Amino acid sequence: MVVLSSPIKQLKEQLIIAPFLRSIRKPHLALSALHQKHGDLVLASFFTKKMLCICHPDHVEEIYIQEAKGLLNRDFLYEAKKSFFADSLFNSKAETWVKQRRLMQPLFTREAISQWQNIFINEAEITREKLKATTATEINLSCEIKKLVQRIIIKTLLGRSADTIPNNEALIQTIDVISQCLLPQLVTQIISNGKLMWFMPIKKWQYQKAVLKLADFISQEIALKREHLGHDLISQMMQATDSKSGYTMPQELLQDEMVNLFFASQDTTINTLAWFFYLLGKNQAVHNKVTAEIMKFRDDALTTANLEKLVYTKAALNETLRLYPPSGGITSLAVEDITVGGYNIKKGTTILLSLFVTHRHSALWECPNEFYPEHFINPQLTTELYKYAFYPFGGGLHNCLGRHFAELEMMIVIVTLLREFTFKTDDTIKEAASITLKPDRDVILSIKPLGKNAN
Ligand code: HEM
C-alpha cells in the first residue's frame, strides 16, 4: 500500500510568553522582534491560545481571500470590543454588518466625499490664518491638528461649527483617553479573556468614563437632528434606504455608527498628519521637494483632480502611512481549518496581520526604516509586485470605509499649510502605546512663513 504524504505542512508552534505580555504595551515592537526571530509566519502559543502572526503580503492576500469565503471572521472579539464599538461596522456580526455596510458605502465613495471638500478647505484655512497671526516661532503641531480634525468632523458629521459646542476641547481629551485605553482592553481580552485588565483598574475606570461621555454627546446630537434634518452625514445616514431591500438604519445602530465614525475619523487622521509634519520637519530635503511641487501648483483650486497632480506630496503621505500605519495590526479568527503558505492552520487559531512589520519588511522595501517617498515613485519594486505590501487602510471585506474621506482631508490640510509655511525639528519622536500608532509626545515644530518667491 502506498502511503501518500499530505501536501499540507504543519507549522512548528513557538511557545511565546514575554512577547505576548510586551504586546500589551508595545505591540508593534513585540511583533517586529517575533518575526525577526522566527520568520514571516509564526505560530505562537500562549497557554491554550494559538496565534498565527503574518507579515508576508502573499500570506495576507491568502487570509483576505479565505475571509471572503467565510473561513475566518471577526466575531471572537465581539464581547471585548462591545464596550466601545458596540454593533457598529467595527464589531457587528455578519448579517448586521452586511446590511449596514451596504447602506453606508454609497455615502463614502470618492464622488460622495467631494461634497465635504469645501468644509475641509474652510477649516484648514482657519488654522492657516491662526498660524499666520501667531508671533511664536514654535508651534504645538499636534494640538493644532487635533483641533482642526475635530472641527472638520463636527462640521461634516453634525453639520455645525465646533465653536457652537461648549467645552469642545474636552471631547479631544475623550478621544485621547479611549485611544490609549482600548489597546490594553483588546490585548488582555485576546490573551487572557480580559482577566489581566483587573490589574489596571485606573485605566479601566478612565476608559469607561470616556466611553460614556462620548456616547452621551452623540446621543444628544442625534436627538437634535431628529428635530431638524440637515445635509450633514448624520442626516444622510438617517435618511439612507437600501434600494433593493428597503432597509433603513435602526436607531440604536445609528448611535453606534456615529460614535465610531466620530472616533475612527479623528484618531487615525490626527496621528497620520502629526507624523507627516514631524517627518517633513526632520527631513528638510524631502520637505523642500514637497514644497516645490506644491508651489508649482499654488494657484490651483484644491479639487480631487488638481490634488492628483501632486505626485511627490502624495508619495510622502503614503510613505508616512507606510512607516506609521495608524492600525499596526488586524486580527481575525479561523472558524474552519485554513491554509496559509502551504501550512494547515487549525480552526480556532487567532490570525494577526502584522501590518506594521509588512510595511518595514527588509525584503520588500529599499530603505525599510527610512522616510523615503521614492518608494512610491518607483512602485514596481513593491506595491505593484505585491497587492498587500502597503495596506494602511486594510483590505478585503472590512477595508476602511473612510479611506477617500481621509485621503482628501489630509491632502487638503497638507497643501493649505505648506503653501504658507515651512516646518523644522531636531526632536526624535518614537511610537507610543495606543490602539493607533501615535507619537509618544506632542509634535513641536519651528515654523516659518514661506518666502513669497518660493517655487
Ligand atoms: C489615515 C486615516 C485612516 C486609516 C489609516 C484607516 C485605517 C483603517 C483600517 C486599517 C481599517 C480596517 C480594519 C480591519 O480590517 O479590521 C479601517 C476600517 C474602518 N475605517 Fe478607517 N482609517 C482611516 C480613516 C478613517 C476615516 C476618516 C473614517 C470615517 C470617516 C474611517 C472609518 C472606518 C470604518 C467605518 C471602518 C470599518 C469598516 C468595516 O469593518 O466595514 N476610517 N480603517
- 431-432/338-340 β-pairing: unpaired
Q: Print pLDDT tens along the chain (455 aa).
A: 444 445 578 888 887 766 555 555 677 888 888 888 889 999 988 777 899 999 999 999 999 999 999 999 988 888 878 888 889 999 988 889 999 999 999 999 999 999 999 999 999 999 999 999 999 999 999 999 999 999 999 999 999 999 998 877 888 888 888 888 887 777 777 666 667 667 677 777 888 899 999 999 999 999 999 999 999 999 999 999 999 999 999 999 999 999 999 999 998 999 999 999 999 999 999 999 999 999 999 999 999 999 999 999 999 999 999 999 998 889 999 999 999 999 999 999 999 999 999 999 999 999 999 999 999 997 666 777 899 999 999 999 999 999 999 999 999 999 999 999 999 999 999 998 777 889 999 999 999 999 754 44
Distance 326 CA to ligand 1 centre (A): 10
Query: Does residue 63 line the site of ligand 1, with CB under 6 A?
Result: no
Give the H or E element holding residue 332: strand 330-334
Ligand 1 contacts CB of residue 383 (under 6 A): no
Integer Cα distance of 304 and 112 in angstroms: 12
Under 8 Å CB-to-CB from 449, ≥6 apart: which residues? Answer: 132, 420, 421
In whole angstroms, give the CA distance from residue 141 to residue 273.
9
Q: 3-state secondary structure string, 233-297?
A: HHHHHHHCECCCCCCECCHHHHHHHHHHHHHHHHHHHHHHHHHHHHHHHHCHHHHHHHHHHHHHC
90 lines ligand 1 (CB under 6 A): yes
CA distance 396 to 66: 10
Give the torsion sign (CA, 66, 69, 71, 72). positive
Closest C-alpha to ligand 1, atom 7: 393
3-state helix, strand, coil in the chain (%, to 5): 55, 10, 30
Please report the pLDDT score of residue 2 as a whole number.
Answer: 40
Any atom of ligand 1 within 6 Å of the Cβ of 411: no
Nearest CA to ligand 1 atom 23: 268
Cα–ligand 1 centroid distance for 180 (angstroms): 17
- Best of 91, 100, 266, 268 for a ligand 1 pocket test (most atoms within 8 Å of beta carbon): 268
**DSSP 8-state secondary structure symbol assigned to residue 17:** S
Compute the distance from residue 257 Cα to the ligand 1 centre, in Å.
Answer: 12
DSSP state of 185: H
394 CB near ligand 1 (under 6 Å)? yes
**Ligand 1 pocket, 379 CB below 6 A?**
no
Q: Which residues contact 301 (CB under 8 A, 6 or more apart)?
A: none
**Is ligand 1 within 6 A of the CB of residue 269?**
yes
* Å from CA of 322 to ligand 1 middle: 15
Q: What pLDDT does residue 49 have? A: 82
- 91 burial class (0-12, 13-18, 19+ CB within 10 angstroms)? buried
Residue with cell 508671533: 135
The C-alpha cell at 255 is: 448611535
**All residues at 6 or more sequence positions from 18 whose CB lies less than 8 Å from its CB, including other chains:** none
In this structure, the chain runs to a length of 455
CA distances from 162 to 81, 96, 139, 407 (A): 28, 32, 21, 22
Closest to 413 in 3D by CA, of 168, 126, 107, 169: 126
- Give the number of the atom of ligand 1 that is nearest the alpha carbon of residue 153: 30
Closest CA to 341 of 91, 45, 8, 26: 8
Q: Whose CA is nearest to atom 29 of ligand 1?
A: 402
Interval between CA 237 and ligand 1 midpoint (Å): 17
Residue 179 Cβ contacting ligand 1 at under 6 Å:
no
Look up the CATH number of domain 9-449.
1.10.630.10
Distances (CA, A) of 375 to 56, 61, 404: 18, 21, 21
Atom of ligand 1 nearest to the CA of 410: 1
Spatial separation of the C-alpha atoms in residues 338 and 344, rounded to whole Å: 6
For ligand 1, atom 41: residue with the closest CA: 398
Q: Is pTM beyond 0.85 here?
A: yes
* Residue among 121, 167, 170, 174 at smallest CA distance from 148: 121
Please give the distance, rounded to the nearest whole angstrom, from the Cα atom of residue 10 to the centre of ligand 1.
34
Which pLDDT does position 205 carry in this prediction?
84
Mutate to test the pocket of ligand 1, among 148, 237, 276, 400 (most ligand atoms within 8 A of CB): 400
Instruction: Report the amino acid identity of residue 228.
Output: H
- Ligand 1 neighbourhood includes 89 CB (under 6 angstroms): yes
